[in-house]
Structure 1
Amino acid sequence: MALKMRGALSASAIGAALGTTGEAARQQLARLAEDGLVVATSLPSGVGRPTQRWALTAAAQARFPDTHAALTVQLLDIVRTTLGDAALDAIIATRETDTRSAYETAMAGQTALRDRVATLADLRSQEGYMAEWRDQDDGSLLLLENHCPICAAATACQGFCRAELEVFRAVLGPEALVTREEHIVSGGRRCSYAIRQA
């Protein structure tokens, strides 16, 4: 909290702010650094050793309150009420087109369905969906998304989920039959997609 409120500080300054010693603060900072939550930079301080100043990492910043989800839902509601459902549909269609284009570029040259599903899982993981895939005993493939980083938006507007399913069907090709079997927005633990050869 001290680093968040005051920016980069030395261990001695943190110790003074917390009412403890600089060495006690340094030990805590070392533990936080092991967890990837703080990072030290050395600054020249004239004669003697450089001064280490500690700052929060992006991982630590992510632990503080974030209202992106609430803002997203509010913006979707504003678009819907002021511009109408057609405007909201146009936004979702644009996102769908952009996503499909990016996925198709990433899959260029891949013809095997398994390779395309593996690439799709990688792409989705990079976007925060914690995706994985596996072979099923019946010969089908299963794409799993263990997290939904756009859950608030998807809950407010089911068009996002519909568009994502259409993107999957498009990029996996006409030989793939894609069926959503679990759905986070509908109360599922995760989203899952059965993928079968047509």
Structure 2
Amino acid sequence: MLLKTRGALTAASIAQELGITNEGARLQLLKFTEEGLVSSYNESQGVGRPKQFFNLTALGNAKFPDTHAELTVKLIEIMRDTLGAEALQTVIDVSEQSGKTRYLNELESIFSLEDRIAKLTEIRSREGYMAEYTKDKEGYLLIENHCPICAAAKSCQGFCSAELNIFKHVLGDDVQISRLDHIVSGDRRCAYRIAEISK
């Protein structure tokens, strides 16, 4: 879970986060490496010996939910092949509209941007995206550490576009949203920059 939400870490960092000894962390990492769940690489950070970082492998990532991936991809392919791309887009559009309505119902009594982002983060986490957000001088960063529809999104990126449209719709016209990281493109997570448009 720690590697999933934080990305590559050293054994010392993991030990500190979990409140265990460095040796304890290394033993766990060795076990996960032998099981093929974790891999490591060395990175030089200036003076001194290179540091060893650990991250999840594809097998490790597969331990997190993937919402019936194989069936979903098969259904998308059948729809595209038999009904055409237009029909598939219609399904995506209907799903997008449904998402907008569902999210707005939960956000209707929340007015400040940060509170809306916090609520959106809560909804997305509930749906399996392992979402979190931070605030900085540029605005907000919404991070999704997992994508439970990743297989479907890789098969048809219209789902990713629809999600971005939903975010824009529910956070308001005076907000600018751009995607910085994208799991489908090979990034560890999906990340979105959210900023209020200056008037």
TM-score, normalized by the shorter chain, greater than 0.5: yes
Aligned CA distance change for structure 1 residues 87 and 192 (closer, same or farther; 3 Å): same
Aligned counterpart, 1:123: 123
Aligned counterpart, 2:72: 72
Alpha-carbon contact 2:129-2:146 (below 8 Å) kept: yes
Give CA deviations for 1:159-184 in whole Å, capped at 9, x if unaligned: 00000000000000011100000000
Aligned counterpart, 2:173: 174
Residues paired across the two proteins, number: 134
Which consecutive unaligned segments of at least 5 residues does structure 1 have?
1-62
1:49-128 aligned at under 5 Å gives the runs: 68-128=68-128
Aligned counterpart, 1:193: 192
Aligned CA distance change for structure 1 residues 182 and 156 (closer, same or farther; 3 Å): same
Q: In the alignment, residue 181 of structure 2 is paired with which amino acid? A: E
SS in 2 for 1:132: strand
Give CA deviations for 1:85-124 in whole Å, capped at 9, x if unaligned: 0110011111101111010000012111001100000000
Aligned counterpart, 1:140: 139
Q: In the alignment, residue 196 of structure 2 is paired with which amino acid? A: Q
Give the whole-Å Cα distance in 1 for the aligned partners of 2:67 and 2:160: 21
SS in 1 for 2:117: helix
Give the whole-Å Cα distance in 2 for the aligned partners of 1:91 and 1:111: 31
Give the whole-Å Cα distance in 2 for the aligned partners of 1:169 and 1:108: 15
Give the whole-Å Cα distance in 2 for the aligned partners of 1:132 and 1:71: 29
Give the whole-Å Cα distance in 2 for the aligned partners of 1:67 and 1:160: 14
Q: In the alignment, residue 91 of structure 1 is paired with which amino acid? A: V
Give the fraction of aligned pairs with identical amino acids, expressed as a percent: 50
With the length of structure 1 as denominator, give the TM-score of the two structures.
0.65
Aligned CA distance change for structure 1 residues 74 and 123 (closer, same or farther; 3 Å): same
Kindly name which structure, 1 or 2, has the bigger radius of gyration based on alpha carbons. 1
SS in 2 for 1:115: helix
SS in 1 for 2:162: helix
Aligned CA distance change for structure 1 residues 115 and 157 (closer, same or farther; 3 Å): same
Q: In the alignment, residue 181 of structure 1 is paired with which amino acid? A: L
Aligned counterpart, 1:149: 148
Which consecutive unaligned segments of at least 5 residues does structure 2 have?
1-62
Q: Is 1:164 aligned with 2:163?
A: yes
- Cα deviation for residue 139 of structure 1 reads 3.8
Alpha-carbon contact 2:67-2:149 (below 8 Å) kept: no
Give CA deviations for 1:53-77 in whole Å, capped at 9, x if unaligned: xxxxxxxxxx8xx992111101100
Aligned counterpart, 2:6: none
Give the whole-Å Cα distance in 2 for the aligned partners of 1:157 and 1:106: 27
Runs of 4+ in structure 1 off by over 6 angstroms are: none
SS in 1 for 2:147: coil
| Higher RCO, Cα 8 Å, sep 6+ | 2
SS in 1 for 2:146: coil
